[in-house]
Amino acid sequence: TLAVHLLQEMIHDGIDPNAITYFTVMRACKHGGEWRQALQLVREMAHHNFYVDLTTYSSAISVVHKGGVCESGVLQLLDE
């Protein structure tokens, strides 16, 4: 999605995204059906020491549900 591309550009240009940036990109992934990318964003948030809270996990589950892969997507989240 365009949002993921812009996030990658920000990081490449030395601009540190915050939790709101990640959350917004995750919502764009939901609308674009990019559930794998949304799960990757959750991993990146944890990697960058952002607090991954219930709202973040709820959003990720919503994305994988919309993608029709709720069970496997949730299992991937639980493996983290």
How far apart (Å, rounded) are the C-alpha atoms in residues 64 and 11? 25
pLDDT band at 31 (very low <50, low <70, confident <90, very high): confident
Q: Are 80 and 42 in contact (CB under 8 A)?
A: yes
Structure confidence at residue 76 as a pLDDT band (50, 70, 90): low
Task: Show the CA angle centred on residue 9, arms to residues 5 and 13, nearest 5°.
Answer: 175
What would the pLDDT profile of 49-63 be if each residue is shown by its tens digit? 888 888 887 887 787
The model's pTM: 0.75
Q: pLDDT tens digits, residue range 14-25?
A: 998 988 898 899
Residues comprising the chain, all counted = 80
In angstroms, rounded to a whole number, what is the distance separating the alpha carbons of residues 54 and 13? 30
